[in-house]
Every structure is written in structure tokens, then in C-alpha cells.
Amino acid sequence: MKAFLILEDKTVFEGQSIGATKEVISEIVFNTSMTGYLEVLTDPSYAGQAVVMTYPLIGNYGICREDMESKRAWPDGYIVRELSRLPSNFRSEDSIENFLKEQDISGIAGIDTRALTKILREKGTMNGCITTNQSYNIDEIVEKLKRYKAGKVVEKVTCNQKSVLKAKGKKVALLDLGAKNNIAQSLNDRGCEVTIYPALTKAAEIIKANPDGIMLSNGPGDPKDCESIIQEIKELYNSNIPIFAICLGHQLMALATGGDTHKMKYGHRGGNHPVKDLSTGRVYISSQNHGYVVDVDKMPEGIANISFVNVNDKTIEGLEYLNKNIFTVQFHPEACPGPQDSSFLFDKFIKMMEVKKDA
Ligand SMILES: NC(=O)CC[C@H](N)C(=O)O
């Protein structure tokens, strides 16, 4: 069946429908990962977005469900050059085509994703519509696209009740803002007992549980839409419990301490983003997925030092809070997909909790 991708700037791509056939409107973002399509599809940070995969062949090693980063797929839409029809992998349980149908994700294949990505890179992220309706009215759709905003998405992706990954080591409270599984797993693999809390949990409840450390996760949407969560994070900041935050968590901690964020032209999404550790000069290749960034010039004096910067565009990639056991990063040390170069940050967090306990 034919499908169309219509962009806010009136560009139309014609391809074939894949997955579900319902019409979707969403923000169109591109991801440059060469593998890891299942981890991308199941990363809750993509809620409210449709993802273009720039790698030209997607689905060739099938669906290996143990690689899922959450219980389901989240993007509104999925856009590829070519979808593999013959997955080949001993771990594969299904094809990506079936998976998209099962997860009710509308997609389009057979379009020039390189041309599409160049448009998004030059004009910036914009909204788009995936439809199988051949008699669409472009002006009506473009009007809808101009008005569309995903809104509050963290509430849609967070868990609805507390759960615990048992272990004998340090006790970590993980605030699930749309957490990828490998954050809790990375801590649990290092012996931490991880209690996962829904995003709207009050800071007082977490502090009362007396954890050794608090982890703020990744998550979808505009960080400034998380007003009530930011208020709770202010209390966590003042609690003196060690905190490590990733991506949305990093942005929310900056907002909670008087900093600001803004939307980037087209964001960073992929498995090959170089970040420089300013304390050593060493560069790590990181996994990333974000459209917003902490403003470099708006961090108030005396709150935090910049610990990492992006080598490509010099944006903030990490903050080390002054006189606090708190550090945060914009990139993904939990990888999945992408390189694990920065997984040592989980060890740094554990060390921080140990030192704090001895003090
Ligand atoms: N992966 C994330 O946590 C993304 C954070 C935020 N939603 C952004 O796009 O910038």
C-alpha cells in the first residue's frame, strides 16, 4: 500500500506503508545509529516523535525481544529507506514488519531518507504526517502540522507503580521519567539494589526511604513541560543524597538550579557523538538522543562546572555540581544502542555513594 510523508514545509515523500496504517502527526527526528533499531524503537524518550533511521537497511537481524529498552515501542511513526524482509540472526524471534504492526506503529519505507535528513538538518526539526490516504489535502495537513505539539509526555511513559531490582549493594532510587532498562540494569549489574519510582513521586517519599543515591533518568518531551517534577528535584538537590542524572534528568537538574534549556536545531540522535571530558581532555564516543540542551551561558554562577562538551557543536554534555555529590550528563552512559565508552560513570556514582557513606 502507498504511504506519504508530508512535512510542515510542504515537501512530500511517497513510499510504501509499513506497520500500522493509521494516519499520524508527529515531530520528525533523525537517528544515525547503524544498528540498535529495536533499542531506539523501545526508548521511551521517542514518545511524541516519529523517527527517521538514516542507515539504509533496517531490520536485517530481526527482533530480539531481550534487547528491548522498555516494555513497548514508543515513537508515533517510523521512517526507513529499506525494511529487511529476510531477517537473519539466531536470536531473532520476529520480523520488524510484524513488530511494527503488533506495536501499532505507522511507518513508511522506500523513501530517500538521506534527502529527508538533509532537509531536517538544514531547516531544523519540523512536524510531519504519515498517511495512506491518497486524496489528502496538503493545506489542511500543513495547517494541522503547524499547530501540533506533543505536550506532556513523561506522564505517559513512566511506570505506574514502584518496583525493586534486588541486590545486596548500595540502595539507589531511580526516578523513572521514561527510563531505558539499561540504566537500572547497569546499576543492578554493579550490585546496587534499584528501587524504581514513578515520575510524579514526591521528593519527600524518596528521601524518607533513605537511599544511598538517586538516579534521574532519560525521558521524552520538552524539559520545561515538567514543572512539578522540577519542584521535587529542587528538594532532592537540597537533600545531600548523591545524585547522578542522565539526559532529561540532567536538563531537569539544570532547570531546578536556576539554569535554562532551549530546543536545538535538529538535536543529537545516534551512536557516534564525540564528547570531551574537560578534566582530562579525553574524548569518548557516546550514544545520544536529545532535542533540547542546557544553555551554556545561563547556568547561574557558582552552581556547577561544565564537565563534558560536545566536540562537534560545543554544546554542554555534562555538569558537575559544586559542593554537592551531584553530576549529570546529556549523553547515555547506559548505551543501548551505541558505544559503552562512558559506562565508567556508573562506577563513579557508586564510588560517590561509598565515600558519602564513610564521611
Ligand atoms: N533522551 C532524553 O532523555 C531526551 C531528553 C529530552 N526529551 C530531549 O529531547 O532533549
ipTM: 0.98
Name the residue range of residue 319's domain: 154-358
Question: What is the spatial distance between Cα 288 and Cα 274, in angstroms, rounded to a whole number?
Answer: 10
Task: Verify whether residue 247 is a known catalytic residue.
Answer: yes
Neighbours of 230 (CB within 10 A): 18
Total domains in the chain come to 2
Pick from 147, 177, 200: which residue ends a domain? 147
Model confidence pLDDT, tens digit, residues 263-318: 999 999 999 999 999 999 999 999 999 999 999 999 999 999 999 999 999 999 99
**161 and 272 share one domain:** yes
From the CA of 219, give the closest atom in ligand 1: 3
**286 and 166 share one domain:** yes
Q: Above 90 in pLDDT, residue 356?
A: no
Question: What is the spatial distance between Cα 163 and Cα 140, in angstroms, rounded to a whole number?
Answer: 45
Overall average pLDDT of the 319-336 stretch: 98
Catalytic residue among 129, 192, 226, 247: 247
Question: What is the spatial distance between Cα 217 and Cα 226, in angstroms, rounded to a whole number?
Answer: 13
Mean pLDDT taken over the chain: 97
Binding residues for L-glutamine, by number, are: 45, 219, 221, 248, 251, 289, 291-292
**162 and 283 share one domain:** yes
Residues with Cβ within 8 Å of residue 91, at least 6 apart in sequence: 61, 62, 64, 66
**51 and 159 share one domain:** no
From the CA of 43, give the closest atom in ligand 1: 1
CATH number at residue 216: 3.40.50.880
Task: Verify whether residue 14 is a known catalytic residue.
Answer: no
| 289 C-alpha to ligand 1 centroid (Å) | 6
**202 and 114 share one domain:** no
pTM > 0.95: yes or no: yes
Taking Cα atoms as reference points, which of 161, 229, 190, 203 lies closest to residue 353?
190
* pLDDT at residue number 138: 97
Binding residues, by number, are: 45, 219, 221, 248, 251, 289, 291-292
**111 and 168 share one domain:** no
| 217 C-alpha to ligand 1 centroid (Å) | 10
Model confidence pLDDT, tens digit, residues 175-224: 999 999 999 999 999 999 999 999 999 999 999 999 999 999 999 999 99
The answer to whether the CB of 279 falls within 8 A of the CB of 307 is: yes
**Which protein residues touch ligand 1 with a CB less than 6 Å away?**
45, 218-221, 247-248, 289-292
From the CA of 288, give the closest atom in ligand 1: 1
CATH number at residue 138: 3.50.30.20
C-alpha grid cell, residue 90: 539466531
**94 and 163 share one domain:** no
Question: What is the spatial distance between Cα 327 and Cα 319, in angstroms, rounded to a whole number?
Answer: 6
Pick from 147, 169, 189: which residue ends a domain? 147
| 288 C-alpha to ligand 1 centroid (Å) | 9
**294 and 242 share one domain:** yes
**127 and 176 share one domain:** no
**189 and 55 share one domain:** no
**266 and 351 share one domain:** yes
| 351 C-alpha to ligand 1 centroid (Å) | 26
Question: What is the spatial distance between Cα 303 and Cα 287, in angstroms, rounded to a whole number?
Answer: 26
* pLDDT at residue number 85: 87
* pLDDT at residue number 358: 73
Pick from 147, 179, 210: which residue ends a domain? 147
Per-residue CA distances from 272 to 46, 215, 269, 347 (Å): 18, 24, 9, 22
**166 and 281 share one domain:** yes
Per-residue CA distances from 49 to 25, 31, 92 (Å): 9, 12, 26
Task: Verify whether residue 250 is a known catalytic residue.
Answer: no
Amino acid at site 128: G
Peptide bond into 337 cis (omega under 30): yes
